[in-house]
Chain A
Amino acid sequence: MVFIARTKSPEEWKAIASAISTLVDEATFEATAEGISFRGMDPSHIALIDIQWPNFAFERYECDTVVKFGVRIDEFSKLIKRADKKDALEITLGEDQRTLHIRISNGYKREYKMLLIESSASSTPLPKLSFNSKIVLTPGAFDKVLSDVQVVSEYISIDAKSSRVEFSGRGDSGDASIALESGSEGLEELAVQEESKATYSLDYLSKITKAISTAGGSVAVEFSSKMPLRLEFRIANVNRIHFYLAPRVQD
């Protein structure tokens, strides 16, 4: 059993590990010849992360069978974060298949061995959804909207119309409302097939967005009225980072 994944952009690993750590304590990755994937939900099954990371994203990638490796994601994240932007990061499975070896090098070489955990991998299905509205933003712009609403509210309502999208929230201290129109700074695309309005927990959205926004790219917010939302983080090299979030019980 061989598994080697070497990359020159540790930022992707960092973003992925911190994204997963917003939902679960323990994560099981699956590696195949095609690449690395992860899918998991938080304990209350409100949110789901679905990641696919193709072999060609890596400088060197070898995997001769299906390898599942379970890690305590905070520990994993801590080790990955020791890598600087310019470092090369190599992850291999130990010969005993009970440890993960993490090598960070750029002249100065470090090697960590991390004990794997028993993977409790049950397969997670994906929700069946169709989206009527799509809002594409820079991660910075999306994070700003979330933070602006979070000052007063624990949830955010998104109201998408053909040329205008309104984000709003209400709390004990008052209301917040932010309108973006086609052409607004940070709004890259607004595509509305059918006007949509739904409400989501800010805690989940803001944690995941902060975790991934450091990796750059853009974020697509897709949803339909009173239906789950999907965030698609478009980061160079990573095929797919999808984050699904169920709407609130009461709108």
Chain B
Amino acid sequence: MGLDLRPLITVSPIKIADLSNKVVAIDAYNTIYQFLSTIRGPTGELLTNGKGEVTSHLSGMFYRNVNLLVENIKPVYVFDGKADALKIAELERRHRLKEEASEKYQQALEEGRLEDAVKYGKRTAIINDAMVEESKKLLSLLGIPHIQAHSDGEAAAAWLTNQEIAFASASQDYDSILFGAKRLVRNLAVSGKRKVPNRNVYVDVEPEVIEYERVLRETGLNREQLVDVGILIGTDFNPGGFAGIGPKTALKLIKQYGRLEMIEKIKDQLQDVPYQKIRDIFLNSPAPEGYNLVFGEVDREKIIDFLCIEKSFSADRVTGALDRLKKSISSRSQSLEKWFA
């Protein structure tokens, strides 16, 4: 799901090298979901080790982050805190969809419809507490810090960009823009292939950046108005938005009337939408507390213990990736910033 802002904004390509030596705040749940839905076996099943434990998330976390570190990008992972009451409806809806997808997945498997199985398998991804804890453990072993958001991870990531602690927020969802992230980076994967849904086609996916100031300048909206446009289109807190209003109409209406309350034709619908609360979530999210963003060393031995021994990953592949990382770090130059007095 997520908010469809794309038709209203300018998206520019960004080179991975331009993110070198920069802190990028990554939405952890968003990323783990991606791994759970895309890193799957030939019949759409999650990857598991000999003990039947799911390893898709760890495989994704490990190789993705090694790739980022090789490029000298400094990832910081932001985990969602307690979901806002308004989001719970959406989360329950997603959960129901997943249960339905699970049934269809089982059925497709039993009937030998492999393509359907792969398709439905992707939609069944559910993150459990163990996956979150394992992901955090792996991050720490890679020397990558993570922080716990008060509520929405994207809100905390946006806050980090505004404090100039992070250069950009990285997520696939456009919600980060409503939270006011200075820059949103999408497609932050170093290898650039992605499968087109429902088709056996792969396309090149390049990292791209959306600049908040530019969005405001080009739409001619202020921050509050941009959130109102989002509410009309539909956010995680009011999925689906308003009937018959797409991104372009939403922009037109807000530009014409200034704010939601002034739009005559949505007056009845608006009564059922807690829009003031939603505005508040996007505009006044509390800052994360008690975070510690220190980048550590890569703990090679413990990573091998965890992934290869405990989780039965291939030792050759894991040590190969760690060697690649070590070589990259050792050939790296320092930053001149250290000598700016």
Name A's B-contacting residues (CB within 8 A): 41, 43-48, 125-129, 154-155, 200-201, 204, 227-228, 244-250
Contact = CB atoms under 8 A, between A and B. Distances in A.
Contacts of B338: 246
Contacts of B334: 46, 246-249
A128 B331 contact: no
Interface string B317-341: 0000000000001111111111111
A228 B329 CA distance: 18
Contacts of A246: 333-336, 338-339
Contacts of A244: 336
B225 interface: no
B21 interface: yes
Given A125-B340, A128-B340, A44 B330 contact: no
6 contacts: A45-B336, A154-B331, A228-B336, A246-B338, A246-B339, A249-B332
B226 to A, nearest CB: 23
B339 A46 contact: no
Given A125-B340, A129-B339, A228-B339, A46 B333 contact: yes
Contacts of A128: 339-341
Contact of A43 (B20, B333, B337, B339): B20
A48 to B, nearest CB: 6
Contacts of A247: 333-334
A91 to B, nearest CB: 28
Contacts of B294: none
B18 interface: yes
B56 interface: no
B332 A48 contact: no
B72 interface: yes
B17 interface: yes
B296 to A, nearest CB: 15
A177 to B, nearest CB: 19
A43 B73 CA distance: 12
Interface residues of B, number: 18
Given A44-B72, A46-B333, A200-B333, 10 more contacts: A43-B18, A44-B20, A44-B21, A44-B333, A46-B336, A127-B339, A244-B336, A246-B336, A247-B333, A250-B329
Contact of A248 (B17, B331, B337): B331
Contacts, number: 62
Contact of A41 (B17, B333, B336): B336
Contacts of B72: 44
A244 to B, nearest CB: 6
B335 A46 contact: yes
Contacts of A204: 333
Contacts of B339: 127-129, 227-228, 246
A204 B341 CA distance: 24
A108 to B, nearest CB: 39
Nearest to A47: B336
Contacts of B329: 249-250
Interface in B287-330: 329-330
Contacts of B336: 41, 45-48, 127, 228, 244, 246
Contacts of A249: 329-330, 332-334
Contact of B335 (A45, A126, A155): A45
A97 B106 CA distance: 66
Given A248-B333, A249-B329, A43 B17 contact: yes
Nearest to B337: A45
A22 to B, nearest CB: 14
Contacts of B330: 248-250
A108 B340 CA distance: 48
Contacts of A250: 329-330
Nearest to A249: B332
Nearest to B71: A44
Contacts of A46: 21, 333-336
Contacts of B341: 128
- The 8 A-B residue pairs whose C-beta atoms are closest, nearest first, are A127-B339, A44-B20, A128-B341, A246-B334, A46-B333, A44-B21, A45-B335, A125-B340
Given A43-B17, A43-B20, A44-B17, A155 B331 contact: yes
Contact of B21 (A45, A129, A227, A248): A45
Contact of B333 (A125, A129, A227, A245): A245
A44 B336 CA distance: 9
Contacts of B17: 43-44
A128 B330 CA distance: 25
Contacts of B333: 44, 46, 200-201, 204, 245-249
A222 B337 CA distance: 19
A154 B327 CA distance: 12
Nearest to B340: A125
A155 B327 CA distance: 13
B54 to A, nearest CB: 36
A43 B21 CA distance: 8
Which one of A44, A154, A246 has the greatest number of beta carbons of chain B within 10 Å? A44
B182 to A, nearest CB: 14
Contacts of A44: 17, 20-21, 72, 333, 335
